[in-house]
Structure 1
Amino acid sequence: MSLDVLWSPFVEFTFMRRALFGGAALALSAAPLGVFLILRRMSMMGDAIAHGILPGIAVAFMLAGFSLWAMTLGGLVAGLGMAALAAAVTRGTGLRADASLAALYPISLAGGVLLLGLAGRQLDLMHVLFGSALAVDRSTLVAMLTVSGCSLMVTILLFPWLRLGSLDPGFLRGVSRFGPPAYGLFLGLVVINLVIGFQAIGALMVIGLMMLPAAAARFWSRDLRVILLLAALLAGLSVWFGLLISFYASLASGPSIVLMAGAFYVFSVIAGPVHGLSRQSSFVLHE
């Protein structure tokens, strides 16, 4: 089989190039955030926000039509509102944070789907939930590149606080006044990456691109910087191969990308040198 199949769709078709560039940019900015979500044991937060942005997207569409910036703003407000509401419920009732999120995100998902349904045939529900490479037009690509670039730069600037906050949040609060603002900025980055990614990956699928490469990377190194780089690399490869699968098999781009990320995760669980199953099996046999 010729290796041309790996890049010929991106050479021949503009929409495939746009999807690749936008998805790769999103991978570079979103996957490192997934690493910090895992380290802070906040994986459920990302999932809840991904579901929580749907009502905002739906309301923005009903008010402003198919406007990328309006739908992005609506999703951003809804996502941040979801995070704030979950935090308020946790503080006010003593309910665990994961329980608050688990209770709220099905409500947001159901409400968002119903609102999208009210929009009628003007908005493709499958496209919003599961993404489409065809949806990444020039303006969407510019928005994805801009948001992803800014997000990556802010993440790099916040790295010292994010690293310390992942290891010991209490110590960070004691030694730096910037701890709470850094955490707020971090949540904002998570939300904006999830919102901007719904066009190509889908609102329900984009969380997979954020979390699966991050989880896979932890099986290959104990060095945080290496884990961050590996997560971004695996996410980028997931976008590339996922789009190829989507193109050749005529499948939705979002699920194809996430399934590719899932394949990398399964391989890492089995073969990863850090707590991978094969590593543990060989250790048991050696013993």
Structure 2
Amino acid sequence: MLDKKIFEQISDLELKYNEPLSQYTYTKVGGPADILAFPKTVMALEQLIAQARENGVPVTVLGNASNLIVRDGGIRGVVILLEKMNRVQIAGYTIEAQAGAGLIQVSEIAAAHALSGFEFACGIPGSIGGAVFMNAGAYGGEISEILASCKVIDQNGNLSVLTGQEMHWGYRQSIIREHNLIVVSAKFELTTGDPMLIKKEMEKLNTLRASKQPLEYPSCGSVFKRPAGHFAGQLIQASGVQGFRIGGVEVSKKHAGFMVNVDHAKALDYEQLIAHVIEKVKENSGITLECEVRIIGDK
């Protein structure tokens, strides 16, 4: 039996018990977390991880829960949201942002300081930690292209620094994901630019995003990885499943690469619809789509 009191002596740590994760995920689905923790400092995060390991409590970090599906049974142990660790600092051409800072927020701060390189992330509804974890990218840019270094905590609660060269970057992949590390903060090397041109590029990307993506509904973002030489959305369209619905989840009529919560969906609806789309695309094209979104938790 999990002792829910073991973390209460840690300073700068907010705790909630049996908290529905549907209140925090972008899909608006997900069962309860045994313990939902909001550390406010690096020290609190280190102590939380160390205490969890000492007591054999599983740890799950959600970032800001934008590119994942939490199953209806919820998540056992302690679930960490880093949204209160969101400080952003600028020194010359470098921005250092804590893991809980939003990509949109950081891109706007960069633009305000005439720093270029972060424009591609101006519409991504993720956190810095999650973006580094999965090497987030959009419109021809990726986190791997601008990250200089990041501070991480391992499963023993130890803090270390990784350089961009040590990150084992891949498509939606990094050493963070490989070794289940926790991003504390990240440092980005940018270049100077014309503030007006930077803002203009961001406005263009946001307009493009709004015109193509179903932002009016809860979703987990782009569901599938891009297959080599193809676009997932086009394969789904060609398979005749755009607009198909299971339960409260629908393959978006606006962009087939998205699945939207249109009517009080459950996580199971998402999982069943994902499996159906993979099957139909395989039948039609011979290509097996791979999930980009993470699916975690108990059924």
Normalised to the residue count of structure 2, the TM-score between the two structures is 0.26
- Superposition TM-score, scaled by structure 1 size: 0.27
Query: Relative CO higher for 1 or 2, CA cutoff 8 Å, sep ≥ 6?
Result: 1
Richer in strand (by share) = 2
